[in-house]
Amino acid sequence: MGAGASSLHHVHYRNLTAGFIELPLDHKDIEIQRPYDVPESSRYSFVNGVHKMWVYSDDKPHSINSRTNPRTELAIKGYEYSSGVWQFEGEGFVPRGTSGVCVMQIFGASHSRATTLMIRTYKGSLSYYRSPVLVPNIWNRWFKLNVIHDVDASTVKIYIDGVLVHEAAGHGGSSHAFKCGVYSQNDASHYMESRWKRIKVFKKE
């Protein structure tokens, strides 16, 4: 179901988190994954409650033995999960020009997949992997993202600014974790950046 679907409906914030417990989240629960050959401060800043992450398409991967694309991501640690219903909430911002990059993901899936979810930006739109487009014209504005992953039912629901924009199947796997930031994908711009604030993690009671 894409952003143009007739069944879109607004869900008030309290309804999205009703029945969930907000888990404590501070700096000890966050790991910044960045190109291995540069200091953290050259790809990440935290100022006035905003996590700013950026990376270049010719950067190194996050570890010397990794073959993955360049990334600067905020990985939530200590809340890896394998069952139940979990929710990520955060406010994101993608500056004009950032394209071909994952800005939020659920890491972990079964077999040949690495992720259960990727939210990417291409030429100013947010999309679920390559398609469908979730929201057009996302550049240079703050948006609120809620992602609800029901592991046992194998479903993922994506809400942007309180609107259900997509529901997808889960992809199995024995361990999952939330990440946000910038992780280069296909057709990436040379410079990629996203900003995040008010990041929260919830678990269904």
What is the token pair recorded at 14? 């309290």
Which residues, 6+ apart, have CB-to-CB distance to 205 below 8 Å? 19, 20, 21
| Residue numbers of the chain with a pLDDT score lower than 70 | 1-14
Report whether 119 contacts 104 (CB < 8 A): yes
Look at residue 110 and give its three-state secondary structure. Answer: coil
Query: Cα(first)–Cα(last) distance of the chain, in Å?
Result: 28
Provide the H-helix boundaries in 6-125. 13-17
Domain positions in the chain are 13-204
Distance between CA 163 and CA 25 in Å, rounded? 25
> In the 8-state DSSP scheme, what is residue 171?
-
Tell me the HSE value of 195 on the side-chain side, using a 13 A CA sphere.
18
102-121 residue pLDDT tens? 999 999 999 788 999 999 99
55-90 residue pLDDT tens? 999 999 999 999 999 999 999 999 999 999 999 999
Residue 7 one-letter amino acid:
S
Q: Which residues on neighbouring strands pair with residue 128, listed in sequence order? A: 119
Q: Which pLDDT score, from 0 to 100, does residue 112 have?
A: 83
Total-model pTM? 0.92
Distance between CA 43 and CA 111 in Å, rounded? 31
Report whether 187 contacts 122 (CB < 8 A): yes
Provide the H-helix boundaries in 42-114. none
Report whether the peptide linkage leading into residue 61 is cis, meaning its omega lies within 30 degrees of zero: no
Instruction: Tell me yes or no: is domain 13-204 CATH 2.60.120.200.
Output: yes
